[in-house]
Structure 1
């Protein structure tokens, strides 16, 4: 069953991230502050897809690479994304 789930995640990765972006991220405070910067939004999707792959890869090897999430959180902190918003829009829905 786990192999089937991982297979699905690998094959639908872009659709999953696109769904998260349009359904949850576009309702966030961060999006409201940065929606006028299309290049930022493109990079945001690319970063989340990259994170998705890193997490999936580490789970495939039997562990969760938390350093990747830590660095993502540090980047969000640097652009003053509230921690609650970051947690709500990335960890819960992705």
Structure 2
């Protein structure tokens, strides 16, 4: 589980509306089209390669695992957070 300080720094590396840590949003990202579930601690929606790089640097600094997610239509659970604490949702 991410500490509140880590979540707060995450909120400041991307523009408003691109970082989500609220329960309602996280529930929407806890599964793909398969049966596996795992609620992430956060969801980020970077819009370009520079923003992706910022999130990856943040994750490395905070030792936070990332799960890359596209549309979430896979059946194998590849977009599910499982034991990861953060979900990097890529819609670029």
Common fold: TM-score over 0.5? no
The higher radius of gyration belongs to 1
Q: In proportion to residue count, which structure has more helix?
A: 1
The normalised TM-score by structure 2 is: 0.31
